Structure 1
Amino acid sequence: TINWPIPHNRPINLPTYPFQHQRYWPALAAIRPVDAVSIGLGAAGHPLLGAAVELAGTDTHLFTSLLSLHSHPWLADHAVAGTVLLPGTGFLELALQAGHHV
């Protein structure tokens, strides 16, 4: 049991066996898309880019997104040795869209 300050100030039990399979991450059903504008970011206007923001005091822009099999099921078609990868054309599209936005 750990008693450091955590949300709601209650102790939590950690697994004592290293291979005790218990998930501590939220289920995919609990993950909801966030509206970028509602949290102060600009909408990127592209299905692969979620949000865009200009960093204060600089000429730098930051683009962010969540790419997963849950949000983009077509990624499953791009697996190499059982690992899903974003295809090279996806990286090119992200770079082109970021350049166009800037």
Structure 2
Amino acid sequence: MEGLSFIVGVIGNVISVLVFLCPVPGAYLVATVNGFGILAEAVYVVLFLIYAPRKMRVKTGILVGILDVGFLGAAVLVTRLALEGETRIDAIGFMCAGPSSCMAPL
């Protein structure tokens, strides 16, 4: 069983490296990978919220509201009101690259 775990781990590492290369072929591949990531993370959060104690669910709900909804709202407002054209695209790219880099496998 340990051998299977190692093989699956190696496959996961290869796939993780390839995720960072997905912007090279085009926007559709990036959207597909990110869309799947959103779906997977949403399932994780929902499962956590189902099984977590009430106090932890409330705390997590507040954090999700502040970080996910609040950050998205602020990003949309700032980029729509203060930036335009290529500058807007670059700013959104940097805002998305920061959290993505933080979640990269170590």
TM band (smaller chain) = under 0.3
The structure with the largest helix share of the pair is 2
**Which of these two proteins has the greater Rg computed from alpha carbons?**
1
Query: What is the TM-score normalised by the length of structure 1?
Result: 0.25
TM-score by structure 2 length? 0.25
Task: Identify which of structures 1 and 2 has the higher relative contact order when contacts are C-alpha pairs closer than 8 Å and 6+ apart.
Answer: 2
